[in-house]
Structure 1
Amino acid sequence: MSSRVRGRIGGRFRRTAVGEMLSGVVRMDRDVFDAVAEAENPRLDAFLPRLTGAANYSKLWIGIAGAMALTGNPRIQRAAMRGVVSVASTSLIANQVAKRWWRRQRPGHGSVSVARQVRRYPKSSSFPSGHSASAAAFASGVAVEAPGIGAGVGALAGLVGFSRVYTGAHYPGDVLAGFGLGALITAIGAKIVPPPVVPDISGVETHIVDAPARPEGEGLVLVVNPASGGGTGERVLKEVEKALPSAEIVTLGPDDDVELVLEDAASRAEVLGIAGGDGTVAAAAGVARAAGKPLAVFPGGTFNHFAKQIDCATVDRTIAAVKAGTVEKVDVVTLNGGTTLLNTASIGVYPRFVEIREKYEGKTGKTVAAVIAAWRVLKEENAVEIRYDGKTLKTSLFFLGNSLYRPSGFAPVDRATIEDGLLDVRMLETGRRFSRLRTVVALLTGNLGRSPLYHELHRPEFRCEILSEPTEVAYDGEVGDKVSELDFVAHYRVLSVYRP
């Protein structure tokens, strides 16, 4: 027998084998459907038709997504959005492409008992199940961002798929194909737009310093701004007088030079204390570092970011640290060799961005609030052109943090530590084509960290030249002078601070 004849016979045999296998699968599919159709369960008869009706037009998934969005949790909101986008994409492909490509008759309205029949029996192709595809797409989309919630939604999606067989709308094979299609489209979407990755920065160990206990506040000279924090400074003064009677308290007047008063206090203090806002605390940190004295921070401002970072959110906690003599080494940052900052610095409209974001985040969550804030501030002509590392770019949003902040993106919340020796620099580039729209899309999808418009650097020093007009620098709640150069340096564990 020639090789050509053998090839034809082999090809015919393969086609016949495949055909028989497919016929067997179809028969098994119908047998399983018949077994389900003949089963009697009054409880399922009452529940599953209602469930399958709730999933019509993806109403069930849209409702769940809405509830998730109202939680205000950014991760859950991203999960809801990814789930809805996955449903929309899957529904389009399943109904407009797959059902038109593969035609299959449905089991028929009379294939199940009247008690479980749906009111409006679908007339489109049975293969694949659009309900099942949308259910799998939503569940897997949610699971990409929030696996725990995705598992719960996945169980509900499985019930929706079973309801399509139970009510006679689909064969089991249609449901399985729908599940596979929905999961596949979500997987492709996760490759195109991966979920954000939060770096683990929690491995830095604290540097504890031995210091003498000061049960009466011996050697402490505390500089207080009574007017800070809407009168909080006055309350701090009274609490310290009562708890640390040996401490010397210096009250700032409205015309006093804060830095001169701090330098004078440091010259005779064993411990320099400060009660004021973050800007005043940063000034005291610079003086304490220069004098080689430990700093005791009493929360006396409006936000007290640094005090909270070192676990001194209340006056009582700082008092306890002074009495016990618990001291830790932390980082400080200097700007242009002179100004000391402890938390953050920015140029452009970042302070305005934060103001708008905080206005809305209580109602919409941080993700949506960040989108609103970005859309509003990026409409304004306020870009600053800078040059760093041989690169030139325009930015309206420039953020710099003392130590690494989390999460990534333009909604940093907190730091795991303040002693890692690094600067956290984040810049959002503007002036490029469709930059505002691209930024909003990246924020909505949680993919800002992978956008070419977003630059995030972690390094001990950052220097740049302002190519446009000199610009003001905001730092620790204060607004500094206009400058043409920025030279930020992180100083590793140079400041001793009292903390519980």
Structure 2
Amino acid sequence: MISPRRSPRAALRSRWDSTGLREITRGLGTLDAEIFETIAQSHSPGLDAVMPRLTRAADHSKLWFAIAGAMALGGGATAQRAAVRGVVTVGVTSVLTNQIAKRIRSRPRPETASVPLQRRSRRTPTSNSLPSGHSASAAAFAMGVGIEHAPTGLVLGGLAGLVGLSRIATGAHYPGDVLAGFGIGATIAVIGGRLVPPITTHDIAIAPPSDVPAPACPAGAGVVVVGNPESGSGNGRQVLDKVRALLPDAEIIEIGPDDDMPDLLRRAAERADVLAVSGGDGTVACAAPVALEAGVPLAVLPGGTFNHFARDLGIRSVADTVGAITEGRLTRVDIVRLNDDTVVLNTASIGAYPHFVRTRTRLQHKRSRPFATAVALMATLRRTRPVRIRVDGVVMETSLFLLGNSLYRPSGFAPSRRLRIDDGLLDVRILEVGHRFALARLVGSMLTGRLERSPLYHELQVPEFSFSAVDEPLVVAHDGEVGESYDEATFRVDYRALSVYTPAPRR
């Protein structure tokens, strides 16, 4: 078969296009080299003194890990989240830069003859020059932190720019390599921010906290502590020992393997001025209705594995709870009642959400949270059977359904924590799958940060929510425990019904 001949004009245009592209590339390369020479040949005592030290500090991201550690130890919850996001973003960026980006196009390192001797790197890098790994990690950390806390990210952005300059000044990279590294790091940070949005405050107006006058209990008189010594992989025993040391007048009851926990809690509440409970979220959820029925306040000691309820109350340690008891810091928080008889403190779910959480938690030990979230979502939607529910007369087929007590952040299907537990609202999130190409559409929406606008995703903030099972009774899991099956389920907020001890807010 004879291929059609191109016209002379088309052939001339093709040759001009390829020649023009080569000329542009050659021109950019020449400009890149000239800028490098200008910076390298500049005689500045400041550059000579600062740039080598700065570039060595950024080797293997030591500078960013040190800053993240300082933020985690000395900052509040926002600083800690920013530090974690920054470190995770650096990890992902480092892998992609060194294992993929540096292998796309070969470019030798610059000649360092023009760089002053005192400014040169102590060792000459042997890897490909394009892109700059130091610059990619610098931009990733600064952008990652900035997504959670913009002022800190702005300051770190200036430091990241200096790190990039140090790579040129010491002769390790051309300016183009640095710009490419900045672009890679910033892009990965933005994608991470789309997959796992930052935790921000809601726009919904919430009444001030409802503080309750309470007498101080310096030694724990009138406090009855019910604790599971086997909770939290043995951490429960340490919690009870700390309570004995800090509250010598408190009565401590250890839950044995053959004890009936609800009965034990009821008998303890009958003689308690304060019912304290040590254990995981399931234990706390069992104690909450007992405290409500007895009319006594609840003190939560973080003795479980995750301690979601205690963490969202601002309790990080036993000392936080003990301090609240001894100072008499008592407030009221919401609970959720399922069909008016079951108390939910944190979340309730049907379908595959428990499987999704377990998969994501397992992957997070090895991968970044955004990657773990995306993989867990795809695995859950692919392997689990969806269920059908009827909401306000509309039948929905869903694989992921989550209902939270108060508003969780961030939006989407990776909720992390609550800033308040007293807003009087349910946080309902439903993911529909009964549509063509649902998985591809959902993943695309997550990657572009448009999940909230997807017609397959519903996020509601309401004081009451009901659904009915279409095919068969559905198991409702709540607070880390597998619950009962329901044909009809109604969730209602009991506004600020539970009195709990909380520490002073951290600034």
TM-score range, shorter chain: 0.5 to 0.7
The alpha carbon displacement at 1:274 in A equals: 0.9
Specify which of 246, 251, 270 is matched with residue 248 of structure 1: 251
Secondary structure of 2:232's counterpart equals helix
**Matched letter for residue 465 of structure 1:** S
Specify which of 467, 481, 484 is matched with residue 484 of structure 2: 481
Q: Note if contact 1:332-1:492 (Cα within 8 Å) is conserved in structure 2.
A: yes
Q: Note if contact 1:306-1:343 (Cα within 8 Å) is conserved in structure 2.
A: yes
2:281 aligned residue: 278
1:401 aligned residue: 404
The alpha carbon displacement at 1:75 in A equals: 12
Specify which of 290, 303, 307 is matched with residue 304 of structure 1: 307
**Matched letter for residue 311 of structure 1:** G
Cα 1:268–1:152, aligned 2, differ >3 Å: closer, same or farther? closer
2:25 aligned residue: none
The alpha carbon displacement at 1:195 in A equals: 11
| % identical aligned pairs | 47
Cα 1:156–1:325, aligned 2, differ >3 Å: closer, same or farther? closer
Instruction: Quote the Cα distance in structure 2 between the aligned partners of 1:242 and 1:152.
Output: 46
- 1:448-487 equivalences under 5 Å are 448-487=451-490
Instruction: Quote the Cα distance in structure 2 between the aligned partners of 1:277 and 1:196.
Output: 27
Instruction: Quote the Cα distance in structure 2 between the aligned partners of 1:259 and 1:378.
Output: 37
TM-score for both structures, normalised by structure 1: 0.63
- 1:83-482 equivalences under 5 Å are 148=154, 200-201=201-202, 204=206, 205-482=208-485
Instruction: Quote the Cα distance in structure 2 between the aligned partners of 1:216 and 1:402.
Output: 33
Secondary structure of 1:379's counterpart equals helix
Instruction: Quote the Cα distance in structure 2 between the aligned partners of 1:434 and 1:407.
Output: 26
Instruction: Quote the Cα distance in structure 2 between the aligned partners of 1:42 and 1:333.
Output: 64
Single out whichever of 244-253 and 460-469 deviates more from structure 2: 244-253
Q: Note if contact 1:472-1:482 (Cα within 8 Å) is conserved in structure 2.
A: yes
Q: Note if contact 1:448-1:454 (Cα within 8 Å) is conserved in structure 2.
A: yes
Instruction: Quote the Cα distance in structure 2 between the aligned partners of 1:245 and 1:194.
Output: 48
**Matched letter for residue 297 of structure 2:** P
Instruction: Quote the Cα distance in structure 2 between the aligned partners of 1:153 and 1:301.
Output: 40
**What's the C-alpha RMSD, in Å, of the aligned pairs?**
4.5
Instruction: Quote the Cα distance in structure 1 between the aligned partners of 2:161 and 2:239.
Output: 53
Instruction: Quote the Cα distance in structure 1 between the aligned partners of 2:364 and 2:195.
Output: 24
Secondary structure of 2:383's counterpart equals coil
**Matched letter for residue 202 of structure 2:** I
Q: Deviations over 1:231-250 (max 9, x none)?
A: 22322333223322222222
Q: Deviations over 1:378-436 (max 9, x none)?
A: 11242111111222111111111111111100111111111111111111111211011
Instruction: Quote the Cα distance in structure 2 between the aligned partners of 1:223 and 1:339.
Output: 21
Q: Deviations over 1:182-209 (max 9, x none)?
A: 9xxx9xxx9xx99969663386432211
Secondary structure of 2:382's counterpart equals coil
Q: Note if contact 1:196-1:447 (Cα within 8 Å) is conserved in structure 2.
A: no
Instruction: Quote the Cα distance in structure 1 between the aligned partners of 2:436 and 2:86.
Output: 28
Instruction: Quote the Cα distance in structure 2 between the aligned partners of 1:310 and 1:406.
Output: 15
The alpha carbon displacement at 1:468 in A equals: 2.3
1:62 aligned residue: none
Secondary structure of 1:229's counterpart equals coil
Q: Note if contact 2:195-2:370 (Cα within 8 Å) is conserved in structure 1.
A: no
Secondary structure of 1:436's counterpart equals helix
Secondary structure of 1:230's counterpart equals coil
Instruction: Quote the Cα distance in structure 2 between the aligned partners of 1:299 and 1:374.
Output: 29
Q: Unpaired runs of 5+ in structure 1?
A: 1-36, 46-66, 85-114, 116-138, 158-166, 168-181
Secondary structure of 1:458's counterpart equals strand
Secondary structure of 1:73's counterpart equals helix
Instruction: Quote the Cα distance in structure 1 between the aligned partners of 2:253 and 2:501.
Output: 19
1:73 aligns with 2:76: no
Q: Note if contact 2:389-2:468 (Cα within 8 Å) is conserved in structure 1.
A: yes
Cα 1:438–1:221, aligned 2, differ >3 Å: closer, same or farther? same
Instruction: Quote the Cα distance in structure 2 between the aligned partners of 1:151 and 1:450.
Output: 34
Cα 1:439–1:152, aligned 2, differ >3 Å: closer, same or farther? farther
> How many pairs were matched up?
373
Runs of at least 4 residues of structure 1 off by over 4 A? 40-45, 74-78, 142-157, 193-199
Q: Deviations over 1:73-120 (max 9, x none)?
A: 399969x99xx9xxxxxxxxxxxxxxxxxxxxxxxxxxxxxx9xxxxx
2:499 aligned residue: 496
Instruction: Quote the Cα distance in structure 1 between the aligned partners of 2:360 and 2:304.
Output: 21
Q: Note if contact 1:194-1:447 (Cα within 8 Å) is conserved in structure 2.
A: no
Q: Note if contact 1:72-1:366 (Cα within 8 Å) is conserved in structure 2.
A: no
Cα 1:464–1:75, aligned 2, differ >3 Å: closer, same or farther? farther
Cα 1:293–1:156, aligned 2, differ >3 Å: closer, same or farther? closer
Q: Unpaired runs of 5+ in structure 2?
A: 1-33, 43-63, 65-82, 97-113, 115-138, 148-152, 165-173, 175-182
Q: Deviations over 1:414-460 (max 9, x none)?
A: 11111111111111111211011111112222221221111100011
